[in-house]
Amino acid sequence: MMVGMDMPMVLDGVAIAAEIKAEVAEQVRELTGRGVKPGLAVILVGNVAASEIYVRSKVKTCGELGIYSEMLTPPESVTTEELLAMVAELNQRDEIDGILIQLPLPKHVDTKRLLEAVAPEKDVDGFHPVNVGRLQSGQPGLQPCTPAGVMEMLRRRGIPVEGKNAVVVGRSDIVGKPMAMLLLNASATVTVCHSKTRDLASLTQGADILVAAIGRPGFVTEEMVKQGAVVIDVGINRVTDERKFVEFFGDDAARRTTFAKRGSVVVGDVHPAAFAASSAYTPVPGGVGALTIAMLMANTVKAAKLRRVA
């Protein structure tokens, strides 16, 4: 470690998510008292293991916060037309404030068409083109949960964004692009990098705020991080290979125990050794992941208020 450098601050996503959820629960109590119980419908197609885990967690959190939820679980063989009919019905139902279609969908389903069928005022994922457009033009609307959670985390921990150099690695519709837009709207100077970017390290080395959302384990390494940068790791990657485990975690005893017990551990898009140079970072697990669900709950309540409360 360099002389005179403080230990980085760990940005505890679980703790911040708990703050957000407590506030959301209070809003739910208030709305329910006025006869408006917020409701979320989740569509989960087929049997993708990771999606099942995420969806179960979303439904469970609804229960904890007093939000009504229901899960629709059509089989893998469902057609686009059948899914469109489900969405149309959910659009019509007054007690459903949020509609979430868990991604990814099977290849034969027209994902874009389906996302466009969700009523924009019920689009708690912020994926509808109307909400994408509102985000890009700085108008109020529903915003994608993961990047919105990152902004909320920065705000709640007093990390300034205005005038900072922010580098987003990854350009997905779910994280990278909306993340870049939120940072830009908050007056950061934003660079978006991706798989075709040349000399990536020279760009990430200029980042005051570095967001990794590429979906590749340990992709961001030590030499790519500027001393004192804020490092946000959006990646959730499962490592099952022994050599990879050692490469990422060396002799980390706690993780070794997990690895021995489960045959896998989770690593982010940032190599664990790269956090040392940062002034603050999000761990994996326990960082951004917890915030995504908290923001989904917040979006559901926001949608209920906007649509049902005068």
Q: Which residues are catalytic?
A: 58, 102, 125
> How far, rounded to the nearest angstrom, does the alpha carbon of residue 81 sit from its chain's CA centroid?
28
Strands 230-233 and 280-281: parallel
Which CB atom, from 41 or from 220, has the smaller least distance to ligand GUN? Answer: 41
Nearest approach in angstroms of CB 172 to ligand GUN is 9
Q: Is 101 in the site for ligand GUN (CB under 6 A)?
A: yes
Buried b (16+ CB within 10 A) or exposed e, 9-48: eebbbeebbeebbeebbebbeebeeeebbbbbbbbbbbeb
Q: Where does this chain touch ligand GUN (CB under 6 A) — which range of 100-108, 190-198, 218-226, 270-278? A: 100-108
Q: Is 145 in the site for ligand GUN (CB under 6 A)?
A: yes
d(Cα 212, Cα 42) in Å, to the nearest integer?
27
Q: Is 146 in the site for ligand GUN (CB under 6 A)?
A: yes
Q: Where does this chain touch ligand GUN (CB under 6 A) — which range of 3-11, 97-105, 195-203, 239-247? A: 97-105
Q: Is 103 in the site for ligand GUN (CB under 6 A)?
A: yes
**Candidate residues 174, 207, 236, 274; the one interacting with ligand GUN per rule CB under 6 A:** 174
Q: Is 100 in the site for ligand GUN (CB under 6 A)?
A: yes
Nearest approach in angstroms of CB 126 to ligand GUN is 9
* Whole-Å CA distances, 51 to 55, 106, 152, 269: 6, 12, 24, 19
Strands 237-239 and 265-267: antiparallel
Say which DSSP state 5 is in: P
**Candidate residues 123, 125, 152, 208; the one interacting with ligand GUN per rule CB under 6 A:** 125
What pairs with residue 98 in β-bridges?
A: 40
> How far, rounded to the nearest angstrom, does the alpha carbon of residue 146 sit from its chain's CA centroid?
2
Q: Where does this chain touch ligand GUN (CB under 6 A) — which range of 25-33, 87-95, 96-104, 241-249? A: 96-104
Cα 13-15-16 angle, rounded to 5 deg:
65
Q: How many Cβ atoms from other residues are within 10 Å of residue 249's Cβ?
A: 20
Q: Which residue of this chain has its Cβ atom nearest to ligand GUN in the complex?
A: 103
* Cis bond upstream, residue 104 (ω within 30): yes
Nearest approach in angstroms of CB 100 to ligand GUN is 5
d(Cα 44, Cα 127) in Å, to the nearest integer?
16
Q: Where does this chain touch ligand GUN (CB under 6 A) — which range of 70-78, 94-102, 156-164, 252-260? A: 94-102
Nearest approach in angstroms of CB 280 to ligand GUN is 24
Which CB atom, from 29 or from 56, has the smaller least distance to ligand GUN? Answer: 56
Q: Is 102 in the site for ligand GUN (CB under 6 A)?
A: yes
Nearest approach in angstroms of CB 125 to ligand GUN is 5
Provide the binding-site residues for ligand GUN, judged by CB under 6 A.
100-103, 125, 145-146, 174, 292
